[in-house]
Structure 1
Amino acid sequence: MPRGAVGQTPAGATQASAVSAPPAALADDIVRHLQHLQVERRLAARTLELYREALARLQGYAEAQPVDLRAVQVFHVRRWAAMLHAGGLAPRSIALVLSAWRGFYRWLGHDGLVKLNPVEGVRAPKAAVPLPKALSVDQAVTLAEAPGDDDAPALVARDQCVVELLYGCGLRVGELVGLDVRPGAAAGGWVDAADGMAHVMGKGSKRRGVPVGGPALKALAAWLDARPGMARPEEPALFVNQRGTRMTAPQVRGRLKRRALQAGLPTHVHPHMLRHSFASHVLQSSGDLRAVQELLGHANIRTTQVYTKLDFQHLAKVYDAAHPRARKR
């Protein structure tokens, strides 16, 4: 959370907006609440620090008003939230601040120290939802077919198989690195080449099956031929690093970035971009949102609906390029 975003005082601001530094000492109520969060709720150190900063803001505003912390009303909170926004704090950061304030007053209410929670019903401004970045079809194919420049053919075969499964099946990077060579009780997932299906363990420990296309199966066969030269004898992981153990998500990201640079792609490519590309390209071709939801393993179709916006962007580009009335002359 940016510090001091509220400290700048625009013309016409009220006295409360002039708070530029946290209080010298936190109020007893805040100190006890933070102890509760640390000892009983066991919040992580970073989360606890964010809550401490948020509650220091609250105390600073209350002292500048002036109003006792236990006497804060809804109109105070709305005004202070507006000041946070005017001071340049991002909507997500404002939401975190309000969450910390809301929890503080809920805790005071449980002890009978306040009659109402003045933060209930106060919401942060809506944050703009960035559209997922996806490669074009040509870029995705270029990445998948890039020859690679490693001296070790096994690395080239492994990386090509990684790309084919990420893009061809829409896997999350965690699902990819969780794949084992063969199914088993402890397997995170596996690829059934004979059946042409990848069985993966998704979010919430939910399994799903995803079809595996011909190019991915061909790349898998090439990697399985090369894998014994890299993997340790008892290593179950499908994808291994140069030490012969299971690849990690950061290692996959690093290798994918390297391959994208070798392929001459103009943008930073990461594993989730290939998942976005998979979803966008399937939707563009089929128009079947429900099928894309099932393939991605989304519990709620609203999560999948973001790809309809990408699909519209694609159609808009086609229109602009092809229709004689699309552009002003």
Structure 2
Amino acid sequence: MGAEPDGKLAWIDAYLGHLRTERKLSAHTLAAYARDLGELATLSDGHDWPQVDHFLVRRLAAKLHAKDLDPRSIARKLSSWRGFFGWLGERVALPANPVQGVRAPKRAKTLPRALSVDDAVRLVAPPAPRAGNGAEPAELCNRAMFELLYSSGLRVSELAGLDLTAGKAALGWVDLDNGEVVVTGKGNKRRVVPVGAAALAALAAWIAVRPAPSDGGDALFVSTRGTRVSPRVIQQRLRAHGVANGAPVRVHPHMLRHSFASHVLQSSGDLRAVQEMLGHSSISSTQVYTALDFQHLAEVYDQAHPRAKVK
């Protein structure tokens, strides 16, 4: 194995190298591990790794909670720390994994924010045509992106990664003839999702004016400079579009994914189909939309039933 690392931070660097080479984690995931473990090293200052025990980790978790850190973030940090100590225990003598059994504070269940059907359709519908000229390419690009987000419930990263055609290296592409989109989601799982008629029309209008990518690639959505549109840019464009069109809330791409799932479930009641279209590996991840569905039913009941609001 060679010489052992010298010092706390050197052990973290060695672990990150292990994650990079052995587990093939992405740069984004590695950066998150680096942040979490760097924070652990700072919080446990004065304690070498073998001296970090279960009680210290509990105090550190409590300290993070006292700073109003979201329980989900604390849980992620504990998971990173637990994995690190599990790896470290195979290389140096540790009494035990000090993170084992330490849990993050329970978080309140919050439902995903979804738009109403009318608000969602109003958001992605094309704007009124300008007098004299047709829509600008940037407007056509935005409309195609927003329609596809709502039509097929894509993650913003999946949308940004789409190519025009099904090349060997393509993570995803659109098939206008068959009315479907192929995407590669979490865990490199590929799925096929239907595309609605409005989204297909918007895609066709965009493709007709789409500039050739400057890098010679096949990106479906490109900027005026010919570069692939990034997830961040899509977020910014959708937010600005929502403000300009009077959206009742601050809109982000995942809200359109939530709206897609909620509206399809309301109409079909088919939870398994929604799970497959969203690319969820577990049905439990999709079941949150049954709560959204009931929320919608409760609102309709309150508004429509003559005895719903009797005091």
TM-score tier, shorter chain, comes to 0.7 to 0.9
The 3 A distance-change label for structure 1 pair 112 and 126 is: same
The question of whether the paired residues in 2 share the 8 Å contact of 1:146 and 1:259 is answered with no
The question of whether the paired residues in 2 share the 8 Å contact of 1:134 and 1:273 is answered with yes
User: Structure 1: any 5+ residue segments left out of the alignment?
Assistant: 1-30, 63-67
Residue 54 of structure 1 aligns to which amino acid in structure 2?
A: L
Q: Hey, what's the Cα distance between the residues in 2 that align with 1:281 and 1:94?
A: 32
Q: Hey, what's the Cα distance between the residues in 2 that align with 1:232 and 1:188?
A: 16
Q: Hey, what's the Cα distance between the residues in 2 that align with 1:319 and 1:245?
A: 49
Q: Hey, what's the Cα distance between the residues in 1 that align with 2:60 and 2:172?
A: 49
In the other structure, the counterpart of 1:319 is 301
1:125 aligns with 2:105: yes
In the other structure, the counterpart of 2:11 is 36
Q: Hey, what's the Cα distance between the residues in 2 that align with 1:73 and 1:40?
A: 19
Q: What secondary structure does 1:190 align onto?
A: strand
Residue 184 of structure 1 aligns to which amino acid in structure 2?
A: G
Residue 160 of structure 2 aligns to which amino acid in structure 1?
A: V
Q: Hey, what's the Cα distance between the residues in 2 that align with 1:213 and 1:178?
A: 20
Write the mapping of 1:40-59 to structure 2, written as runs, cut at 5 A.
Answer: 40-42=15-17, 47-48=33-34, 50-58=36-44
1:298 aligns with 2:284: no
**CA deviation digits over 1:291-321, x for unaligned, max 9?**
0011111111111111111112111111111
The question of whether the paired residues in 2 share the 8 Å contact of 1:132 and 1:276 is answered with yes
Shift of 1:169: 0.9
Write the mapping of 1:1-329 to structure 2, written as runs, cut at 5 A.
Answer: 32-42=7-17, 47-48=33-34, 50-58=36-44, 85=65, 88=68, 90-95=70-75, 98-99=78-79, 102=82, 106=86, 109-110=89-90, 113-147=93-127, 153-227=136-210, 230-232=211-213, 234-329=216-311
Q: What secondary structure does 2:167 align onto?
A: coil
Shift of 1:290: 0.2
Bigger Rg, structure 1 or 2: 1
Shift of 1:275: 0.9
Equivalent pairs, count? 292
User: Structure 2: any 5+ residue segments left out of the alignment?
Assistant: 1-5, 20-29
TM-score, with length taken from structure 1: 0.75
In the other structure, the counterpart of 1:23 is none
Q: What secondary structure does 1:132 align onto?
A: coil
Greater shift, 94-103 or 290-299, is seen at 94-103
The question of whether the paired residues in 2 share the 8 Å contact of 1:181 and 1:191 is answered with yes
Q: What secondary structure does 2:168 align onto?
A: coil
Shift of 1:203: 2.1
Shift of 1:92: 3.8
The 3 A distance-change label for structure 1 pair 76 and 222 is: closer
Shift of 1:146: 3.9
Q: Hey, what's the Cα distance between the residues in 2 that align with 1:163 and 1:134?
A: 15
The 3 A distance-change label for structure 1 pair 273 and 149 is: farther
The 3 A distance-change label for structure 1 pair 242 and 82 is: closer
Q: Hey, what's the Cα distance between the residues in 1 that align with 2:80 and 2:199?
A: 47
**Percentage of identical aligned residues:** 54
**CA deviation digits over 1:113-157, x for unaligned, max 9?**
443345422212222343211111001111121417998522222
Shift of 1:79: 6.6
Q: Hey, what's the Cα distance between the residues in 2 that align with 1:108 and 1:257?
A: 44
Q: What secondary structure does 2:181 align onto?
A: strand
Q: What secondary structure does 2:173 align onto?
A: strand
Shift of 1:209: 1.1
TM-score, with length taken from structure 2: 0.79
**Superposition CA RMSD, Å:** 3.3
The 3 A distance-change label for structure 1 pair 243 and 98 is: closer
Q: What secondary structure does 1:251 align onto?
A: helix
Q: Hey, what's the Cα distance between the residues in 2 that align with 1:100 and 1:207?
A: 27
Shift of 1:276: 0.9
Q: Hey, what's the Cα distance between the residues in 1 that align with 2:151 and 2:42?
A: 49
